[in-house]
Amino acid sequence: MQGQSLLKLSVVTLLVLNAALLGWFVFKTDRGAADDPDPSAAFSPPQGPIVTGSDPITAPAPTPNVAEVAPADPASPAPAAAVPSSAAPSGLLPEEERVIALFDRLSPSVVFITTMGAVHTYFGRGQLAPQGSGSGFMWDEKGHIVTNFHVIAQAQEAVVTLADGSEWPASLVGAAPDHDLAVLKIQAPKNLLKPIPVGRSKELRVGQFAMAIGNPFGLDQTLTTGVVSALDRQIESMSGRQIYGVVQTDAAINPGNSGGPLIDSAGRLIGVNTAIKSPSGSSAGIGFAVPVDTVNRIVPQLIDKGRAERAGLGVMLAGQVVARRFGVEGAVVRTVNPGSPAEAAGIRGFDQDRFGRVRLGDVIVGVDRQTVRSTDDLTKLLDQREVGDEVVVELDRAGARRQVKVRLMALN
C-alpha cells in the first residue's frame, strides 16, 4: 500500500517538472523572437519562378513591413506609368510622331480654293455666288498655287484660303486641260508662302507610304494616309485626252480633295490628287493623282506662257479602226503637215492610186527604241518629251523598216 503511494507521488512530480520545463522553453522562445528586429533577414524566399516539373510556379512576393509603407499624400502626384521602350516620349508610337511632324510641316503649304460663278436672279441680272471648292498647294514664294483644271473650270473668280484662315483673291495664270492642271496666283505676304518640296515619279514604288492633304467636302486641312497602290495608270482628262503615268493610291480622296498634294514619307510631292473610282462618288480606296514628273514639266510652262506646249512630229494620225482595216499594228500616219519636222524627215501619209483607192503610207512602230502598237502608245511617249527634243522614229512602209530622226515641234 505504501509502495503504491510512492509511485503516484513520483508520477505527479514528473508531470509538474515537465510542465515547468515546457513553460520555460516557450518563454525563452518568445523573448528571442521579440529581441530579433528583422526575423525575415534569416530567410528570403526565392524570387522568380520555382520550377517543379515542367510548369513554372511563381513564388509570392514577400509581404512588405506595414511600418515601412508611408500613407499616400493626396497633394503629391501619382507616379507616371512606365512608357514602353517602343513609344516616343509623348507616349505615341514613332510612326505616329513622324506622320504628325509631316502634317505640321506641310499643312501650311496646302490651300482651300473656293470658286465663284454667275447666277441669274429673278430680274435677270447676274451676280457672283459660290460655285464649288477644291484644294491646291503653293508652288513657289511668288504666290503661284497649283490645282486641278477641273476645280477652276468655268469659274469667274476664285478665293484662296490659307492655313491661317486668311483669304486672298486669286487670278488665273494658266491652264492645261489635257493634263488637268492649272496655276493661280495670290498677292500674299512672303512669310505666308511656303512652297511644297517636290519629288520625282521615277523613284516611286508600289507599297510605299502616301499621304493626302486637302479639303474634302469643304473640311479644310484634312489628312488621309495610305500607300501607293499602283503606278502608270491612265485616266481621261476633261479635254478627252488621256493622262498617262497616273499614280493610284488608297489614301482616301473625296470631292474637295481635287488639286491637293499627294505626299511621300519624306514630305515630297509625288502627285496632284485628281480623281477617284467609285460607284457612290465617295472614296472607295481607289484614288488617282497626276504624276509629279508631269507637274514638273507642265507647271513652269503655265507660269511662263500661260499654256502648256505639246511636243509632236507634225502629223495627223488615223484611228485604230483604220489600222485594223489595213491589218497593221502601230500609229498610222494619215497626213503630214507642210513644213513640219515630219515632212523634213520624209514621213508619208495616205496616198491614192490612179483609181482613187487609198494607199497606206508610213506606220510609226517605235520611238527611241520603245515599241509603238497604237496611237495611244505614240501619244504617251511624246507626252514625256519636250519641244525641241530629237527622237528616233521607226517606220514601217509596205513591210520595209527604216529609222529617221525628228526634232519635235510645238503643237497648237
Which residue of the set 135, 237, 258, 283 is catalytic? Answer: 258
Which residue of the set 133, 135, 144, 150 is catalytic? Answer: 150
What are 231's three cell numbers? 503606278
Listed in sequence order, the DSSP H helices in 176-306 are 292-305
150 has catalytic annotation: yes
What are 328's three cell numbers? 497593221
Question: Which residues have a Cβ under 8 Å from the Cβ of 404 and sit 6 or more positions away?
Answer: 345, 346, 347, 392, 393, 395
Listed in sequence order, the DSSP H helices in 134-233 are 149-152
What are 347's three cell numbers? 514621213
Q: Could you give the CA distance from residue 408 to residue 288 in angstroms, rounded to a whole number? A: 29
CA angle 277, 280, 284 (to 5 degrees): 50
For cell 517543379, what's the residue? 52
Nearest to 341 by CA among 378, 367, 314: 314
| 3-state DSSP assignment of residue 175 | strand
Which residue of the set 178, 180, 264, 362 is catalytic? Answer: 180
Residue 107 and residue 194 in contact, taking contact as beta carbons nearer than 8 Å:
no
Residue 103 and residue 212 in contact, taking contact as beta carbons nearer than 8 Å:
no
Residue 116 and residue 158 in contact, taking contact as beta carbons nearer than 8 Å:
yes
Listed in sequence order, the DSSP H helices in 52-148 are 94-106
120 has catalytic annotation: no
389 has catalytic annotation: no
By the 10 Å C-beta count (0-12 exposed, 13-18 middle, 19+ buried), 222 is classed as buried
Instruction: Give the β-pairing of 363-367 and 331-336.
Output: antiparallel
CA angle 272, 273, 274 (to 5 degrees): 105
For cell 501619382, what's the residue? 78
Residue 184 and residue 139 in contact, taking contact as beta carbons nearer than 8 Å:
no
- Strand blocks (E) in 6-154: 49-52, 55-58, 110-120, 126-138, 144-147
Q: Could you give the CA distance from residue 329 to residue 304 in angstroms, rounded to a whole number? A: 39
Please give the positions annotated as active site.
Answer: 150, 180, 258
